[in-house]
Amino acid sequence: MSNREASPLGASSGSVRIPKTAELIARRLRTEIARGHLKEGDTLPPETTLMEEFGVSRPTLREAYRLLEAESLIQLKRGARGGAVVSVPDISVASRYVGLILQMSGTTVDEIHAARIIFEPACVRIFTERCTDDDLDELRACIEQMRDVTEKDLDSDKAPELWAELTGRFQSAITDRCGNKALSVQAGVLRDIVRTHQRHTLARGARRKGTWPAFRRNLRSYEKLVDIMATGDGTAAEEHWATHLRSIAKILFGQGAGRAPIVDLFG
């Protein structure tokens, strides 16, 4: 039999890449984390134990650690009580990578916001149909904090960032509890990218004429949404939120700002 015939999957052609040992170890540990066998806050066994278990050297194991650390799946802590500690990546990890891909493809901010208008109102409808009184109370508490910002802290340099944080918290409370994890993650990634743009926009021009009155209108829109949610009318809540997001687009992305490429967000 020739060498070509003896090579599995056509490996002799160079079409198959054999993973490095460090990648195989990282894959094994990644699987343990993804399946919940290793939970957030757990410390991995000592390096010597893992080196013996996997039959590898310390440099190879540490290379696997670096791969997992880059994915925000572990944190490396120094000192006598240090080691590799399991962490769970938040939505910002996904939005950073997705944002980079969108940036490289020339996607614009208003394209992202248009996609958000598709995902987020659907989350609002599902949330409305299943939310509890405690959920609504949490949203109302967030609205009260927004009201404090618009009534007391308009001249503060921190007001734009605080407003963006509160609106993001309000929206996250809805999408995170809508009951559809796939939809929630998609909406969360898009919202996080838009929030990055929002923070930059507000920081550059929060005191422009008409900006703060627009915030007050948005506050009334949040209040109306919660009132609709309290009735359990998911369709009405969905329609209201879609209208709200279109209004936000005119404020944040007006006068051509939304046509700027994402590179302006992360540069």
- How far apart are alpha carbons 178 and 181 in whole angstroms? 8
Q: What angle do CA 93, 253, 162 make, to 5 degrees?
A: 55
- Whether the model clears a pTM of 0.85, i.e. scores above it, the answer is no
Inter-CA distances, 100 with 64, 188, 191, 262, 265, Å: 24, 16, 15, 8, 10
Per-residue pLDDT of the chain (267 residues; tens, 9 = 90+): 444 444 444 444 556 677 899 999 999 999 999 999 999 999 999 999 999 999 999 999 999 999 999 999 999 988 777 789 999 888 888 888 888 888 888 888 888 888 999 999 999 999 999 999 999 999 999 999 999 888 776 666 677 778 878 888 999 999 999 999 999 999 889 888 877 766 666 555 544 444 556 778 889 999 999 999 999 999 999 999 999 999 887 776 665 555 566 655 555
Structure tokens at 26: 């990282």
- Give the residues across from 75 on adjacent strands: 85
Instruction: Please return the burial class of 225, using the count of CB atoms within 10 Å of its CB with bins 0-12, 13-18 and 19+.
Output: buried
